[in-house]
Amino acid sequence: MKTTIAIASLIFMQALIIVSAQAKTTRDGVYTEAQAKRGEKMYAESCASCHGADLSGSGQAPELSGKDFNADWNTLPLSDLFERTRVTMPADKPGSLKPEQIADLTAFLLQKAALPDGQTELPSDLAALKTITFVSPKP
């Protein structure tokens, strides 16, 4: 009986930890300003040629900032946007960027979406990124 209660409370505490880890969203300051700055530089070098210097897109390349972009990613784990970029971008050289560089780029996209920065850098670890939900900025 005692063991059952002990196990039950362990499971309960584990659930609490998981819930609190998942409670994070992009409105909670999940990247740093310095990181977004690095991402901005990389964006100019590797992405702007297709997505535009102002992220508004051009030709086949969609906007990376604005209503459509927010709608594409809203409520999804941030790992989805990260993986989409890591695996398929830059479209002319997919897979050429390191995970840390993708994290910097993602930080820049969050900054451009007017989502707040914070004290800790956005991780490049997929498991950690899964615990952050992309939530669009307040209109």
- Choose one: 16-24, 41-49, 113-121, 124-132; the region binding ligand HEC (CB under 6 A): 41-49
* Using rule CB under 6 A, residue 47 touches ligand HEC: yes
CB distance 132 to 26 below 8 Å: yes
At 44, which amino acid appears?
A
CA torsion sign, 96 to 97 to 102 to 104?
negative
* Using rule CB under 6 A, residue 112 touches ligand HEC: no
CB distance 137 to 110 below 8 Å: no
Q: What is the CA radius of gyration of the chain?
A: 18
* Using rule CB under 6 A, residue 51 touches ligand HEC: yes
Q: Which is nearer to ligand HEC, 13 or 71 (CB)?
A: 71
- Choose one: 18-26, 64-72, 111-119, 127-135; the region binding ligand HEC (CB under 6 A): 64-72
Rounded distance between C-alpha atoms, residue 105 and residue 55, angstroms: 12
> Which of 60, 95, 119, 127 is the binder for ligand HEC (CB under 6 A)?
60
